[in-house]
Structure 1
Amino acid sequence: MLDFDLIEGTSEKIHMKKLAIQICVDMIARTISQSDFRMKNGKEIIKDELYYRLNVRPNLNQTASTFWQELVHKLIKENEVLVIKSDTDDLLIADSFTHTEYAVFEDSFSDVTIKNYTFNHTFKMSDVFYLQYTNEKLTTLLDGLYTDYGELFGRIVEFQKRKNQIRGVVDIETVQDKSEAAQAKLQNYINKIYKAFSEKSVAIVPQQKGFKLDEKSNTNAHPVDEVNKVTDGFLYQVANALGIPIALLKGEMADVEKQTRNYMIFCIDPLLKKIKDECDAKFIDKSVYLKGKRMDIRRISYSNIFDVATAVDKLRSSGIFNGNELREKLGEERADDPMLDKFVITKNYQESSEALKGGEKE
């Protein structure tokens, strides 16, 4: 038997796992990157160098949105992320580092590499911004799913590629001339035949003496839906592990506000709490923190301000919140108006005895 290249190797690369993680992590990163990071001293918002770094330009090469997206990607994918502060106050995300842990002393970070530059300096825990996702189950889950879903996905793709595939069997009489030139000539002829069948709607091939082509039909049917089902199954498993409601990924419109609220509460808020706690610990001294200085992160609101106007009016007229407190709840800054600092109560919320007295006077 001559060594003709009749069987083409199939690729074993599976991109499903990368796509699923990318979709989920991108969704979380885009949401967090729209947050506003504020340092507050009591009710006052401090707009200083740190405010500029966290919200506009963390370093010379990144905008704030790009910086936070990269940070979230590393945090979720690699289970940890390290941010260092350069001599020029730039905030830089480390590509790799060595983390040395201690029981009663500060942890240290050495061999910190950013792009192509490695710092010779060893950083202490108090000098860096360090976050851990601390979800070992996610890593275990993904590793296991890669194997199971990847194998299943690969098999279904191969079945799908063979659907309606033109197959042929070539009968060749014993070749007397077994030289390389003769083999190359015959291989060339076979390649031309299959190229004509695959590229042209009508292909006519002349029959050669000692050469017979017998076409075989393939009746196996494997719908494309099966490929989509396996891909979606893997995607939904990853989304569940990260706390993303499946309905949001599917694009379902039923109860979209409820699903969005769950997404913000169970997925986004825990990550923002991690970031807030680390900011409070690294950017604020203990004595100043106890006096009321805090990091305040305003995440993007999923409710339109006009949709909650009636509820805001009730909270204001019942005296539960004043105007400036409601502005903060809505994500707006406090206004310099003494009237907004007052608590007001309409007659509808007064005690019944006072309401009756008012009626008698009238």
Structure 2
Amino acid sequence: MGWLSDVLKRNSELEWMFDLDLLYETSQRAYLKKLALETCINFIGRTISQSDFRFMENGKRQLNDWHYLLNVRPNTDQSAADFWQKFTYELIYENEVLVILTDTNDLLIADSFTRDEYAVYPDVFRDVTVKDYTFQRTFKMDEVIYLTYNNEKLTSFMDGMFDDYANLFSRMIEVSLRKNQIRGMVSMDSTLDLTEKNRTKLQNFIDKLFNSFRNNSVALVPKLKGFDYEEVYSGENNGQSVDELTKLKKSLIDDVANILGIPNALIHGDLSDYETSIKAYVKFCTGPFVKKIKDELNNKIINKKDYLNGSKVEVYGVTEKDLIDNAEAVDKLVASGAFTRNEVRELFGAERSDNPELDKFVITKNYQSASAVEGGENG
């Protein structure tokens, strides 16, 4: 700073100029984080919300209170689709989700709670809050539906990466804005009486100039004695910066999608490899979520004895293949005698039929041994 001090001493009129506010801080791009998370988490949430939860006994679906709660109206304020979408969002975003059953048979997703863990006794949840109401009672682990996603919150795990992306994104926006920008050069007569009062007035005038050029396509600037303003064109913009911004946002969404197991092509609506993407999405993303939910429901809703006797909760609508698109495969499964028609119905998410004929194995001549085929030289 020695050289700068010498310059300021020899040119006292420059010293006060360093007090003028000519630079503006860049804002944090917090919406980048929300954009990536909301895009990916809600994609999974919309998928899970289409699930069909079936309470089964001896292979037959039971239309009981649980059927209504899980598929129609879990509580007075939410439909089943809204409930399961929020359930999935909380599970991924907060790394855990707690659902309680009230005395009025409403399933409620807790907004906040405290978990007391024990080694040999069921954990206890207290201070359970839903909206602005906090329950005074405690809930034991075997009384609630509670799931965890992984060992660390997704948001905490990705904070560092988002900070880097935000800084890079801000810098790219600055570069994009500088292209095709009209810049101004200000020259002032050094003999002006620059008292504190005059410097304040000059600063206010510069601020007004800046706001006029930023907020208006046409701005009129008064000509002042001893104060000259000149515009400088910054150069051409070929649109490359806008493309780079779009690629950066897409890259950020891709990173979050990869962590959650969503194929990149699927999240961006690329239909060129749709079938392969759907298979990977079901197997590595939604499949594990459905398994977590199904295991927890079977654990909390059905006791061990009933479960071993055939009672269980099944979840359909996410992992099953389309029956019409796979009609040829269905015919092969039945015609080869590998599956009964009722078993095939279950594989594709349909309920079993009461027709006993559909529980019989069917086989065509094409799958019989060569010696059993009639006709030919020995026919």
What TM-score do you get using the length of structure 1 for normalisation? 0.90
CA distance in 1, matches of 2:315, 2:24: 56
1:85-113, Cα deviation, whole Å (9 max, x unpaired): 00011000000000111111110101000
Q: What one-letter code is carried by the residue in structure 1 that aligns with 2:373?
A: A
Pick aligned residue for 1:279 from 297, 308, 311: 297
Which deviates further from its counterpart, 104-113 or 315-324?
315-324
Call closer, same or farther: CA 1:157–1:135 in 2, change over 3 Å: farther
2:112 corresponds, among 90, 96, 99, to 96
Return the match for 1:59 from 60, 69, 75.
Answer: 75
The aligned residue for residue 238 of structure 1 is 256
Whether contact under 8 Å (2:55, 2:313) holds in the other structure is yes
Give 2:312's aligned amino acid: R
SS in structure 2 opposite 1:136? coil
Q: State the match for 1:144 in structure 2.
A: 160
Q: Contact 2:26–2:170 at 8 Å: present in 1 too?
A: no
Q: Cα distance 1:128–1:7, how it changes in 2: closer, same or farther (>3 A)?
A: same
What secondary structure does 2:78 align onto? coil
Instruction: Measure, in 2, the Cα distance between the counterparts of 1:286 and 1:202.
Output: 77
1:297 aligns with 315
Write the letter of the residue equivalent to 1:149: Y
CA separation of 1:332 and 1:169: change in aligned 2, threshold 3 A: same
Give the distance between the partners of 2:376 and 2:124, measured in 1 at CA: 71
Residue of structure 1 equivalent to 2:5: none
CA RMSD of aligned residues (A): 2.7
8 A contact 2:28–2:167 mirrored in 1: no
Aligned length: 360
Q: Distance in 2 between matches of 1:358 and 1:288?
A: 56
What does residue 11 of structure 1 align with? Answer: 27
Cα distance between partner residues in 1 of 2:234 and 2:82: 50
The aligned residue for residue 9 of structure 2 is none
Preserved contact between residue 39 and residue 295 of structure 1 (Cα < 8 Å): yes
**Secondary structure of the residue that 1:153 maps to in structure 2?**
helix
Aligned residue runs from structure 1 range 96-135, under 5 A: 96-135=112-151
Determine the structure 2 residue equivalent to 1:42. 58
Unaligned runs of 5+ in 2: 1-15
| Residues 1:256 and 2:274 aligned together | yes
What's the counterpart of residue 153 of structure 1?
A: 169
Corresponding residue SS for 2:374: helix
- Once the two structures are superposed, residues 327-361 of structure 1 have per-residue CA deviations (whole angstroms, 9 ceiling, x without a partner) of 22222222232222222112222222221379967
The correspondence for 2:85, drawn from 50, 69, 72, is: 69
Q: CA deviation at 1:163?
A: 2.2
> Which residue of structure 2 lines up, in the alignment, with residue 28 of structure 1?
44
Change (3 A) 1:196 1:148: closer
1:326 aligns with: 344
Q: 1:272 to 1:359 in 2, by over 3 A?
A: farther
Residue 89 of structure 1 aligns to a residue whose secondary structure is: coil
List gaps (5 residues or longer) in structure 1.
Answer: none
* 1:252 match: secondary structure: coil
For the 8 Å contact 1:169–1:215, the answer to whether it is kept is: yes
2:372 to 351, 354, 358: 354
SS of corresponding position for 1:356: coil
| Kept in 2: contact 1:14–1:154 (CA 8 A) | no
- Comparing 145-154 and 30-39, the one that deviates more: 145-154
Question: Which AA in structure 2 matches 1:271?
Answer: F
Structure 2 counterpart of 1:37, which letter?
F
CA distance in 1, matches of 2:338, 2:206: 84
Residue in 2 that maps onto 1:86: 102
